[in-house]
Amino acid sequence: LRTRLYAHLLGLDARFYDRSRSGELVSRLTADAELLRSVITSSMSVALRSSVTVIGSLVMLFVTSPKLAAWAMVGIPAAVLPIVMGARRIQKTSRASQDRIADANALATEALGAVRTVQADARERYEGQRYASAMATAVATARRRIGAQAIVTGVAITLIFGAVIVVLWSGAHDVISGKLSAGLLGQFVMYAMLGGGSVGALAEVWNEVQKAAGGMGRIHELLDEQPAIAAPADPAPMPKPLRGEIQFDHVTFHYPQRPDQAALEDFSLRVRPGETVALVGPSGAGKSTVISMLLRFHDPRSGSIRLDDLDIRRVEPTALRGAIALVAQSPVIFAASAADNIRYGRLDASDAEVRHAAESARASEFLDALPDGFASELGERGTRLSGGQQQRIAIARALLKDAPILLLDEATSALDAQSERAVQQALENLMVGRTTLVVAHRLATVLKADRIVVMDHGRVVAEGSHAELLAQGGLYAELAKLQFLDATPTPVTA
């Protein structure tokens, strides 16, 4: 179940993850699945054993005294009734309890993932209080669930043994009147106690089943999620070889969180095979949205996106993304070796191919200096590397993938000048022979592009070379003036 759920989660689209918390998803993947495992392994064995005991006890009760056994049977529906009536409440409180635990896990995952920020702002106590408050809520909800379980079990056992007492009273009268021997009555009571205890155990198992049902409901909720970006029923094959021509044709797109604000509005762009096109513009212009749309993390509300004249909605998403390499502003470094992080671009790559990619990305120089070289563990999120080193690992990964289309989304914006120079040289090696789409705020990083496209409010407002756009004036000239003036050193006076 965990494997199926994990595979399903990996296939869900960006819209789902935009509204979900990773800590909560991990809780459903682990804690909720653990509830089911507990029921299947331990509770089911108890249920089987208790069921056999109950059946055997009933048989022996009727063999010993049919009359008293009939009286005992009257008490069984009375005992089952509270179990059935309390099932829905137990299931509801169990689900609420799991929800609160998931909330606490999400808080912990978020804080631990940003522990340096927490410590830098001296917010350890604040985060501890948030987690303690979330856990207190979870404990209070769990107490309500435990209380409901205790009431159901207590009422069921009370009714069962109440029925046994009534039967014992009736049997005592039969002994006095000579209709039943004292030995048979004792034997009957023994069987009744054995069966009653087993019915109580079954009530406990039923409570556990309802508890697990709450967790299963949360799991089914995830399994019922369907990706908005689905593979077509009859996918078209990707062109081979892919020339790398990109065509946005009157694309309009609104993010679900901002339905009244267009991220792209009647956006059209053609990138020729092997061409390097830079997208520039102010924040919120829609530059990164173009990258997301090309990767088909979202589908346009209207218009189409084509690769080599093939609408990307007709292609299997994994096949589409396999033809595209992405180097983002904040590269993802896994808690694995340097070699495995680079090999993520192509899992069957040999050690020699991994090294060659690292050398082309200018990453081998610092990787060889690590204690275990390429076998060195890089830590979660690449904590043992600088920002520039992380970027060069990501570039090596993209080189190894060897995709015909390259997307650079603010790949150097977070780096210092020295790191940016090294990364820029690695990027130039990566861009050779590929259709490249570059998103950048810093205009100095796009001067070598074949064409610069200026965006504002989700539209193309100008395009041309750096010199042509400066001559035209407008938004690009304004951005260039601001950035290059800011870069001019201010003289220091005594």
Transcribe 362-382 into DSSP letters.
Answer: T-HHHHTTSTTGGG-B--GGG
Residue owning tokens 């804080």: 111
**Least confident piece of the model among 24-33, 109-118, 410-419, 469-478:** 410-419
Question: Is 234 among the domain residues?
Answer: no
Q: What is the pLDDT of residues 268-288, one digit of tens each?
A: 999 999 999 999 988 888 898
- The mean predicted confidence, pLDDT, of the chain is 82
Q: Look up residue 462 and give its amino acid.
A: A
Q: Is 193 exposed, middle or buried (0-12, 13-18, 19+ CB in 10 A)?
A: middle
Given pLDDT bands bounded at 50, 70 and 90, which one contains residue 418?
low
Q: How many residues does the chain have?
A: 494
Judgement on whether residues 79 and 174 belong to the same structural domain of the protein:
yes
pLDDT at 416: 63
Judgement on whether residues 267 and 386 belong to the same structural domain of the protein:
yes
Question: Is 431 among the domain residues?
Answer: yes
Which ranges of 114-178 would DSSP assign to H, the alpha helix? 115-120, 124-176
Q: Of 223, 256, 285, which marks where a domain is finished?
A: 223
Q: What is the pLDDT of residues 336-370, one digit of tens each?
A: 889 999 998 889 989 999 998 888 888 888 889 88
Judgement on whether residues 300 and 199 belong to the same structural domain of the protein:
no
Axis crossing angle, helix 182-223 with helix 124-176, rounded to the nearest 10: 150
What CA–CA distance (Å, rounded) separates 456 from 412?
A: 21
Question: Is 241 among the domain residues?
Answer: no
Given pLDDT bands bounded at 50, 70 and 90, which one contains residue 121?
confident
pLDDT at 448: 81
pLDDT at 334: 85
Given pLDDT bands bounded at 50, 70 and 90, which one contains residue 223?
confident
Average pLDDT over residues 145-155: 80
- The fraction of the chain above a pLDDT of 90, given in percent, is 14
What CA–CA distance (Å, rounded) separates 199 from 203?
A: 6
Question: Is 240 among the domain residues?
Answer: no
Give me the domain span that covers residue 357: 246-487
Tokens of 205: 């198992």
Residues 218/28, Cβ–Cβ less than 8 Å: yes
Judgement on whether residues 216 and 273 belong to the same structural domain of the protein:
no
Average pLDDT over residues 211-233: 76
Given pLDDT bands bounded at 50, 70 and 90, which one contains residue 453?
very high
Question: Is 233 among the domain residues?
Answer: no
pLDDT at 138: 85
Whether residue 486 is predicted with pLDDT greater than 70 in this model: the reply is no
pLDDT at 413: 65
Virtual CA dihedral for 351, 356, 360, 361, nearest 10 degrees?
Answer: 0
- The fraction of the chain above a pLDDT of 70, given in percent, is 92
pLDDT at 273: 92
Given pLDDT bands bounded at 50, 70 and 90, which one contains residue 264?
very high
Judgement on whether residues 262 and 333 belong to the same structural domain of the protein:
yes
Question: Is 239 among the domain residues?
Answer: no
Judgement on whether residues 257 and 400 belong to the same structural domain of the protein:
yes
Q: Of 172, 192, 223, which marks where a domain is finished?
A: 223
What CA–CA distance (Å, rounded) separates 437 from 257?
A: 26
Average pLDDT over residues 372-380: 85
Residues 5/219, Cβ–Cβ less than 8 Å: yes
Question: Is 95 among the domain residues?
Answer: yes
Whether residue 102 is predicted with pLDDT greater than 50 in this model: the reply is yes
Judgement on whether residues 215 and 152 belong to the same structural domain of the protein:
yes
Q: How far is CA 84 from CA 77, 149, 155, 184, 487, in A?
A: 10, 12, 12, 34, 74
- Listed in sequence order, the residues at least 6 apart from 287 whose beta carbon sits closer than 8 Å to its beta carbon are 279, 280, 281, 439, 455
Judgement on whether residues 215 and 264 belong to the same structural domain of the protein:
no
Whether residue 494 is predicted with pLDDT greater than 70 in this model: the reply is no
Residues 157/203, Cβ–Cβ less than 8 Å: yes
pLDDT at 145: 80
Judgement on whether residues 277 and 209 belong to the same structural domain of the protein:
no
Judgement on whether residues 185 and 299 belong to the same structural domain of the protein:
no
What strands lie across the sheet with 451-456, from one edge to the other? 324-328, 405-409, 435-439, 276-280, 451-456, 459-464
Q: Of 169, 192, 223, which marks where a domain is finished?
A: 223
Say how many domains are in the chain. 2
Give the CATH number, domain containing residue 159. Answer: 1.20.1560.10
Handedness of CA 238, 240, 241, 245 (dihedral sign): negative
Whether residue 491 is predicted with pLDDT greater than 70 in this model: the reply is no
Q: Look up residue 262 and give its amino acid.
A: A
Given pLDDT bands bounded at 50, 70 and 90, which one contains residue 311?
very high
Judgement on whether residues 188 and 320 belong to the same structural domain of the protein:
no
Q: Which of 255, 254, 231, 220 is nearest to 15 (CA)?
A: 255
pLDDT at 415: 63
pLDDT at 7: 83
Average pLDDT over residues 60-77: 78
Question: Is 492 among the domain residues?
Answer: no
Tokens of 258: 């901002």
- Listed in sequence order, the residues at least 6 apart from 11 whose beta carbon sits closer than 8 Å to its beta carbon are 227
Judgement on whether residues 171 and 261 belong to the same structural domain of the protein:
no
Query: Where is pLDDT greater, at 327 or 37?
Result: 327
